[in-house]
Amino acid sequence: ADVFTFDPGFTSTASCESTITFIDGDKGELWYRGYPIDQLAAKSNHLETSYLLLYGELPNAEQMADFDKRVTHHTMVHEQMHNFFRGFRRDAHPMATMVGVVGAMSAFYHDSTDVNDPWQREVASIRLIAKLPTIAAMAYKYSLGQPFVYPKNDLDYASNFLRMCFAVPCEDYVVSPILAKAMDRIMMLHADHEQNASTSTVRLAGSSGANPFACIAAGIACLWGPAHGGANQAALEMLREIGTVDRIPEFIAKAKDKNDPFKLMGFGHRVYKNFDPRAKVMKESADEVLDLLGIHDNETLKVAKELERIALEDEYFIEKKLYPNVDFYSGIILEAMGFPTSMFTPIFAISRTVGWVAQWKEMLADPQSKIGRPRQLYVGAERRSYVPLSNR
């Protein structure tokens, strides 16, 4: 009989070789193409980082201008795609809309679905990076019953997204540079994270030769879950539910109770066992944004900080090496910007698109890659004979 390694949850299986992102979970290190995330967060921006993730090197001025132009050229979506949005209920979760609409891009951009043609792969990659903010913003506008706002291509990536979400036709809308910078940083911090569940999903879907839009739709679907990208929505909802600092011990006790499925959302990570370097930057960013917006005495932030303090001193969390992850603080920033919690995970999806695309391209270019096909340990019934219905 075949002998397999049994590895539920793939905790010790490397599924590919990759040159894109490095994580050292014990040291709390994250590098994109060798550059530490804190350096990029301080000095780069999401679009430049996207170039780095896609092509392996930081761009020079000319390469950056060209990349910027190519991305902005593709920010609009096919006008007929508006009909897709209109088919959804207004109260649909924007992630549901995005899974559908991004998958449907396969039906609109036929000239970039041939995965064997490197040029088409490139065009599809740029289309996805360029259109995801537009699609997420449209999903949001649709949920509000407001008209869609078209992209404005003299704005940077983050500002354009904010404008498409918050501008209304009857009023002028000027994007706040503070918010744009914070949004850009959120995007950059989420841009890639090696073989996480959604990225592995994109690679697995892509390994069959499925078209890029279908693969990214699969990644969005996987990201939605509360154990993954959905944690940012779940974390803020949890902080709101806790409500006041005095209720924290009650929730800590619930999280520690073996018989209670409740987990502290925004805590813990499969790989980081020291701290999540993204959370560190995000926490600083949250402080900065609330300060600049003049939001003092924010009860949610107070609860978050106190919860973090108590948990980090608690034996259960110390022993299990559970620390706040990237999703713990991002929600506070997004809430301060005016986003409803349902938009948190779509913003994660926009940000992660470049990572998904870079990993998908890397896989297709890798001569070692083949269709992903895990095996199993069968533990079902022994061979048996069919019993006719009348005899059962």
Residues 6+ apart with CB under 8 A from 346: 94, 95, 98, 136, 139, 140
Cα 11 to chain centroid, rounded: 21
**CB 248, CB 213: distance < 8 Å:** no
By CB under 6 A, residue 269 contacts ligand CMC = yes
- Point out the catalytic residue in the list 156, 184, 192, 327: 327
> How many angstroms separate the Cα of 56 from the Cα of each of 53, 194, 381?
6, 14, 50
CA distance linking residue 161 with residue 157, whole number of Å? 6
Among 42, 227, 253, 318, binds ligand CMC (CB under 6 A): 227
By CB under 6 A, residue 268 contacts ligand CMC = yes
Report the candidate in 156, 75, 118, 189 with the shortest Cα–Cα distance to residue 360: 118
By CB under 6 A, residue 327 contacts ligand CMC = yes
Nearer of residues 117 and 260 to ligand CMC, judged by Cβ: 260
**CB 375, CB 70: distance < 8 Å:** no
Nearer of residues 265 and 289 to ligand CMC, judged by Cβ: 265
Active-site residue flag, 327: yes
Nearer of residues 261 and 380 to ligand CMC, judged by Cβ: 261
**CB 189, CB 329: distance < 8 Å:** no
Nearer of residues 108 and 348 to ligand CMC, judged by Cβ: 348
Nearer of residues 141 and 280 to ligand CMC, judged by Cβ: 280
Candidates 44-52, 75-83, 211-219, 258-266: pick the segment binding ligand CMC (CB under 6 A): 258-266
Among 106, 325, 351, 353, binds ligand CMC (CB under 6 A): 325
Active-site residue flag, 78: no
Identify each DSSP E strand in the chain by its residue range: 21-24, 29-32, 35-36
CB of 106 to ligand CMC, least distance (A): 25
**CB 233, CB 344: distance < 8 Å:** yes
- Point out the catalytic residue in the list 74, 190, 228, 269: 269
Among 33, 121, 131, 228, binds ligand CMC (CB under 6 A): 228
Nearer of residues 81 and 286 to ligand CMC, judged by Cβ: 286
CA distance linking residue 223 with residue 98, whole number of Å? 11
The dihedrals phi and psi of 31, each to the nearest 5 degrees, come to: -120, 140
By CB under 6 A, residue 255 contacts ligand CMC = yes
Candidates 54-62, 115-123, 127-135, 264-272: pick the segment binding ligand CMC (CB under 6 A): 264-272
Candidates 35-43, 117-125, 226-234, 365-373: pick the segment binding ligand CMC (CB under 6 A): 226-234
Helices 277-292 and 326-337, axial angle in degrees (round to 10): 20
Please tell me what DSSP assigns to residue 1.
-
Which stretches of the chain bind ligand CMC, using CB under 6 A? 9, 196, 227-229, 231, 255, 263-270, 320, 322, 325-327
Q: Which residues are catalytic?
A: 269, 327
